[in-house]
Structure 1
């Protein structure tokens, strides 16, 4: 529902109105706001301010997200993405509240998994992702391993639900981590959240990246692995993309991506169990986490698992 500044009645509307009033350039000017659907971590808003040349996208941190989102790192990542030509311009960031205000990019639409059936969209998305990955490293180094360990501990403290075969999943995680760390990590800025909805499409199929909340310095293979599992690409398409990204396809890269496929799903499945305990958003985090656990289990049960461990 679209509202004018001062008309808010709910706690969420109160939060966006406080965010609007915090921008000194906007004080004394008429403003309207309305929710932007789609996010599963935060309430997001589209804001119009009288006299401004464009609309704004305002992100209000969701309750409990401070447990796994570093807003300063997210802002740093968003600014690097814009500087590399693949992200929206950020105008304001308030470290004390975590509120971030960027340009609402007009004329683009949120992509869906179906869009990535188009090879041009896939290639443009890969190039946008690589442009961000090729930026200087982010201040915060937080690998997939760090994220998994963090979520394990959070779920324990909050009483989150673990699957009955967690011991087996944890053992597979530990052996994959040992193999990957022994081989050395290929660290770079990573989005760590390559859902289809975080790629915006121009009419000519160029791609812009949005939402860097989970960004950190991490392994490039983990970035590709998460994107691949989210898009459900075929092995043939994955090989094409790996060759475009790395300039080669070999058993080492394939093995690294394959192991990380299991680990990123384990990360997000446990994240979902944490969210299931603390988030107020209308989203079925338990079902989401259950599905992610299933996919992690599927990869860890693959007959090639031991081969991947040796290949990396």
Structure 2
């Protein structure tokens, strides 16, 4: 269906003068800024096979509403479930880059927006990267998609990390789970988060470790981020976030493999994007200090 036809189905946008601008950066959606005399909106049109990637548009819609209620997400203005289209308010502000997360002064701000989201209404479903990674692996193997060399060699280590984290199981909170820098919007007075495709109730340390991983930050930045989140330095929480950041890289590598094999609608080098994550994950799996990190995560401060 043509974009104009989609927009005509949205009561808020139908029958009004409007300008349309495609926004950059979408890896599973095409995102458009639509401006009318009444305001500016973002129309998110799905451009991937959501079933393969564990995307549930109904859950995204509900979770986006919950995030808005928590004061973290954009207001939700419309939803066309049959077309995979979500309409949210456009948040004026500056989108973060990796450089912003390398700036130590921003880490307490990021911790604060995460705490606000985590204290808000619970999301529709749960998110567990260990389960997501195994589900993605099944799809990659069943469909014959490319698998990085020696990827399966690290499965026993991933299982050991899962056992280690279970020693001190954490209660889950509503997490974004996909905190790329581009999903953080700086509105000056506070930060906001966008894009809730992978939202779900999860260990808060995954949120922090995933963010650290996505921006490829140094270990000291993770220490500062986790300390800012909890209000004091907790050695086992820092270790926990580091292990979950490793699992983030390991799991999202397969997301890239699926996109590389199945997505022909978005012009993006998914394989190279995933291999960069995999190479960093492989380096961490083979680093001598991994056993000490697991001991710290399972132990007491």
Same fold (TM over 0.5): yes
Distance 2:171 2:12 in 1: 42
Alignment of 1:199-218 (within 5 A): 199-202=184-187, 204=188, 206-218=190-202
With 20-29 and 60-69 compared, the bigger mean Cα shift is at 20-29
Cross-structure match for 2:120: 135
Cross-structure match for 1:46: 33
Cross-structure match for 1:231: 215
Cross-structure match for 1:113: 98
Deviation at 1:215, TM superposition (A): 0.8
Secondary structure of the corresponding residue to residue 60 of structure 1: strand
With 280-289 and 89-98 compared, the bigger mean Cα shift is at 89-98
Residues 6-37 of structure 1: CA distance to partner in whole angstroms, max 9, x if unpaired? xxxxx6xx1x2232121134433333322111
Distance 1:191 1:306 in 2: 28
Deviation at 1:240, TM superposition (A): 2.1
Deviation at 1:205, TM superposition (A): 5.8
What 5-or-longer segments of structure 2 have no aligned partner? Answer: none
Secondary structure of the corresponding residue to residue 179 of structure 2: coil
Distance 2:59 2:98 in 1: 27
Deviation at 1:135, TM superposition (A): 1.6
Distance 2:34 2:151 in 1: 44
Cross-structure match for 1:4: none
Q: Alignment partner for residue 59 of structure 2, among 73, 85, 95?
A: 73
Residues 116-168 of structure 1: CA distance to partner in whole angstroms, max 9, x if unpaired? 24334322122112211222321201211121111111111221111221232
Q: Alignment partner for residue 257 of structure 2, among 244, 265, 273?
A: 273
Report whether the alignment pairs 1:126 with 2:105: no
CA contact (8 A) 2:107 2:224 kept: no
Secondary structure of the corresponding residue to residue 192 of structure 2: strand
What 5-or-longer segments of structure 1 have no aligned partner? Answer: 1-10
Distance 2:236 2:57 in 1: 34
Secondary structure of the corresponding residue to residue 59 of structure 1: strand
Q: Tell me: CA distance 1:224–1:47, structure 2 relative to 1, closer, same or farther (3 Å).
A: same
Secondary structure of the corresponding residue to residue 229 of structure 2: helix
Report whether the alignment pairs 1:256 with 2:256: no
CA RMSD of aligned residues (A): 1.8
Deviation at 1:234, TM superposition (A): 3.0
Distance 2:253 2:203 in 1: 19
With 68-77 and 264-273 compared, the bigger mean Cα shift is at 68-77
Cross-structure match for 1:7: none
Report whether the alignment pairs 1:240 with 2:201: no
Deviation at 1:248, TM superposition (A): 2.9
Deviation at 1:290, TM superposition (A): 0.8
Distance 1:46 1:121 in 2: 27
Secondary structure of the corresponding residue to residue 43 of structure 1: strand
Deviation at 1:186, TM superposition (A): 3.1
CA contact (8 A) 1:45 1:57 kept: yes
Equivalences, count: 295
Cross-structure match for 1:19: 6
